[in-house]
């Protein structure tokens, strides 16, 4: 049972890397499509047609937020900033576009944007992990690295806390 509550810091950080790369790629692709293929003016017009408030502002934030936010997640640079912007984008998509259609994606529902918002909230709360530019910069500018203490993040007991090199004893 104890095994079910344990996590290993390196494994957790490796999984966060995979999550960042996958979700960052999705947002990069969607942002690229909005900025390059549709053009920001096209996104603004779509927002206007959908009745989204402040379409000039929301359209630019949507297009560039996805493109730049996706790149930030992919690189693990300013990850929490990118995740925050993408969370706002997905909440907007849920409220203004997909919410009225219910949960199921095949009906135009919000399940996909809800999951993307949740993943970005996870990245916002947890951070990018040690396999990121953020982590390299923190170590470089803090004289060897920032270490989490057992109180920084709730754990299941007896586990190694992500970002540390020692195990907590239970």
Q: What is the reported pLDDT for 3?
A: 63
**Digit-coded pLDDT (tens) for 46-105:** 999 999 999 999 999 999 999 999 999 999 999 999 999 999 999 999 999 999 999 999
The set of residues, in sequence order, having a beta carbon less than 8 Å from that of 70 and lying 6+ positions away, is: 23, 24, 25, 26, 27, 28, 29, 30, 31, 82, 86
CA 79/CA 100 separation, integer angstroms? 31
The model carries a pTM of 0.80
- Residue 65's H or E segment, with its range, is helix 55-75
Which sequence spans correspond to the domains of the chain? Answer: 2-141
């Amino acid at each position: 049972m104890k095994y079910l509550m344990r996590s290993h810091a390196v494994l957790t950080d490796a999984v966060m890397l995979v999550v960042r790369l996958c979700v960052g790629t999705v947002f990069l692709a969607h942002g690229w499509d909005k900025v390059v293929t549709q053009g920001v003016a096209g996104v603004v017009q779509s927002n206007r047609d959908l009745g989204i408030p402040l379409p000039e502002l929301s359209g630019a934030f949507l297009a560039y937020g996805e493109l730049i936010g996706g790149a930030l997640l992919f690189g693990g640079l300013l990850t929490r900033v990118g995740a925050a912007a993408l969370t706002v984008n997905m909440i907007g998509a849920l409220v203004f576009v997909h919410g009225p259609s219910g949960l199921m994606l095949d009906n135009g529902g919000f399940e996909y944007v809800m999951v993307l918002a949740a993943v970005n909230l996870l990245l916002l709360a947890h951070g990018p992990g040690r396999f990121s530019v953020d982590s390299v910069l923190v170590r470089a500018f803090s004289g060897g690295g920032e270490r989490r203490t057992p109180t920084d993040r709730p754990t299941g007991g007896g586990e190694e806390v992500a970002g540390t090199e020692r195990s907590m004893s239970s």
